[in-house]
Amino acid sequence: MLIGRKQEQQELRRLFASDEAELAVVYGRRRVGKTYLVNHAFNDDEFVLKVTGLHNARLATQLENFVKALREYSGDESWVVPSNWMDAFDQLKTYLKNTRTGHKRVLFIDELPWMDTRGSHFLEAFEWFWNSWGCNQSDLLLVICGSATNWIINRLFKQKGGLYNRAGSKMFLRPFTLAETEQYLTKQGIMLERYEIAQVYMMMGGIPYYLKQLEPRRTLADNIDNCFFRTNGKLWDEFDNLYDTLFLNSEVYVRIVEALASKRMGLTREEIISLSKLPDNGSTSQALKDLVKCGFVRVYQYYGRKTKGQTYQLADFFTLFYYRFIKNNYGQDEHFWTHMIDNPKKNNWLGYSFEQLVKEHIEQVKAALGIGSVLSQQSSWFVEKRDLENVGMNGAQIDLLIDRRDRAINLCEIKFYSGEFIIDKDYSLNLRNKVAAFKSVTNTRKAVVPTMITTFGVKPNMYSGIVQQEVLLDDLFAF
């Protein structure tokens, strides 16, 4: 049973039912479930060939692997290994001509970017195959997948040659939502409360392969130790593999996310360059764009600032968890996470990661607030104390602002707490200061709505009346 992916399944079946030749591109990060989706969208007898590129393999090895797939699916051992991709795709064309069934056939090339080794002229040969023959075969659906997302975006989608805009469908496969994560864990026999599922999400994101490593008979803390902190644990080397398979010249991307991991509020492009020691040129800008398109980095603006004030924030949960805990602790204490109960560093990380989790589920937040159909824009905001000295106010920082077209702004406080959140006198005064500072600095004429986004809600008391709207963790699990 496939969890989620309903739109992608429907799209793949729509292309299969088409009476024209179709080319579909399914791309996304490593371990997100691209291959699983394609394999389960079609019946086995609907595939005419499946072949997978090899990571970091030489041209000769790639070609040998390609021909092995031809031999397997054709049942003919006489296919010889060619010396170049033009001959390889010519062989593929011959094979496909001889295997017509009168029905649509699926040709599945997985990890296609890995076949494009240096000097191999793979892309030219692939372009020739599709444009000169494949696109005219009404019984052919070509599905290509790739984890090397920057290759897909920059070499395939932006290529101005014969493949430009040739893909009939481009599907970026996103990680699971909280709701889909809960479904998947239940299917795996992992029974956790939503409070624990949220913590799992803040470590692993909604990545099916990572979630699959959890074992039903272990506690959550023991599972995390087993995956990340035990010597040769299940995911001990995942970080290096992740960036190496996603990006060519991965060192540049790693230096960017490492810089972003050091700053909770995010960094401007200039600050990233300063911290990472990368050159101030187009290559760095392109790497930033790639990270944003892949969902690893979030770009946002502070309320009231123009585009040039864009800030970049690390949005990938696993990467953030890696830099906070795994990088410097792997193998030193095999029960590291078990020993982190009530550790201030862990609690600080939970608070920050919960903010990212909320931003990742902004549609669920809006639905819970009853503004799902209202046009809105999300941002953050802060003002320093020195800028408010003339009015006698303290500085203020707002985690999330939802600026609504219906002339209201939700000023959101985000708190990850093990029980009901208690607003005391000091917190109430702090919240009132934020509202007053925001109104004073921005001169907004919109209604400002103090909103709490918490795990289990706000405990009613004499100070809780300042909160006008609430969103609970349960609300984030909505489909």
**What proportion of the chain, given as a percentage, has pLDDT over 90?**
79
pLDDT (tens digit per residue) in 417-465: 999 999 999 999 999 999 999 998 899 999 999 999 999 999 999 999 9
Mean pLDDT of 103-127: 95
Question: Using CA atoms, how far apart are residues 376 and 406, in angstroms rounded to an integer?
Answer: 9
Measured between alpha carbons, how far is residue 218 from residues 110, 150, 221, 469, 473 in Å?
34, 37, 8, 38, 24
Specify the pTM: 0.92
pLDDT at 59 over 90: yes
Predicted local confidence at residue 166, as pLDDT:
65
pLDDT tens readout for residues 126-162:
999 999 999 999 999 999 999 887 788 888 877 666 5
Confidence of residue 387 (pLDDT cuts 50, 70, 90): confident
The predicted pLDDT at position 330 comes to 79
Cβ-based neighbour number of residue 383 at 10 Å:
21
pLDDT, tens digit, for every residue of 240-254?
A: 899 988 887 899 999
pLDDT of residue 399: 85
pLDDT band of 264, cuts 50, 70, 90: confident
Mean pLDDT of 95-122: 94
Which pLDDT tens digit goes with each residue over 205-217? Answer: 999 999 999 999 9
| Arithmetic mean of pLDDT over the chain | 92
Q: Are 156 and 416 in contact (CB under 8 A)?
A: no
**Residues 90-99, mean pLDDT to the nearest whole number:** 96
Residue 3 to residue 479: CA distance in whole angstroms = 12
Residue 444: exposure state from Cβ atoms within 10 A (0-12, 13-18, ≥19): middle
Q: How many CB atoms lie within 10 A of CB 249?
A: 10
